[in-house]
Amino acid sequence: MDAVTDATFDDEVLKAGLPVLVEFTADWCGPCRQLAPVLSDVARKEIDKTRVDQVLAGLAPFDEKTLLDDHTEAPDAAESRDLPEARNDDKAPAKV
Catalytic residue of the set 32, 36, 39, 67: 32
Name the percent of the chain in helix, strand, coil, to the closest 5.
Answer: 45, 15, 40
Whether 1 contacts 52, CB under 8 Å? yes
- Sign of torsion, CA 57 75 35 42? negative
Active site residue 29: yes
Whether 6 contacts 74, CB under 8 Å? yes
Catalytic residue of the set 21, 22, 29, 83: 29
Residues assigned a catalytic role: 29, 32
